[in-house]
Amino acid sequence: MGSEQRTVTITSSSNELDAVKEWHKRAMGACPEWVELLGKTHPKAVVGYTELRKVVYEEGALPRKTKQLILLGINLVRNYESGIKLHMKLAIQEGASRAEIAETILTATLSAAAPAHHEGGNVLAEEIRKKSFKTE
């Protein structure tokens, strides 16, 4: 990408919405139902979101495989099943190995577990300081 400027035109023409649908089919194997539904009422938003997605999916400072592994991890932490399936599939298509997928899952597990561990421990410590427990 370098220092080149990127210009994105967001319009609501049916041609652009059709192009968005085709891009989703090529990039993900199918056009999600939300593209069709939201495209009818908010075509500019659907076109704009798709343009952002295209930029993110491009090779850049991060390779596409790395981006897909990051997106997989984020979707694992968010417990977003369709995102997990999509980004695992795309990571594999970009050449991710079983070991890379497994390490992404473990990394996401750490991130998802950390709030429970840290916040739970902090609240427990607070209750101990308040002497809230009747027994040890």
CATH number at residue 84: 1.20.1290
Residues 78 and 117 in one domain: yes
Instruction: Please indicate, yes or no, if residue 3 is contained in any of the structural domains.
Output: no
Please report whether residue 1 resides in a domain.
Answer: no
- Give yes or no: residues 83 and 127 share one domain: yes
pLDDT band at 12 (very low <50, low <70, confident <90, very high): low
Range of the domain at 23: 8-58
Q: How many CB atoms lie within 10 A of CB 104?
A: 21
Chain segment 50-107, per-residue pLDDT in tens: 999 999 999 999 999 999 999 999 999 999 999 999 999 999 999 999 999 999 999 9
Model pTM above 0.85 = no
Domain count of the fold of the chain: 2
Cβ-in-10-Å burial (0-12, 13-18, 19+) of 28 comes to middle
75 and 96 both lie in a single domain: yes
pLDDT at residue 27, as a whole number: 84
Say if residues 73 and 108 touch (Cβ distance below 8 Å): yes
Kindly tell me the burial class for residue 48, based on how many C-beta atoms sit within 10 Å of its own C-beta (0-12, 13-18, 19 or more): middle
Per-residue pLDDT band at 10 (split at 50, 70, 90): very low
The pLDDT of residue 3 is 43
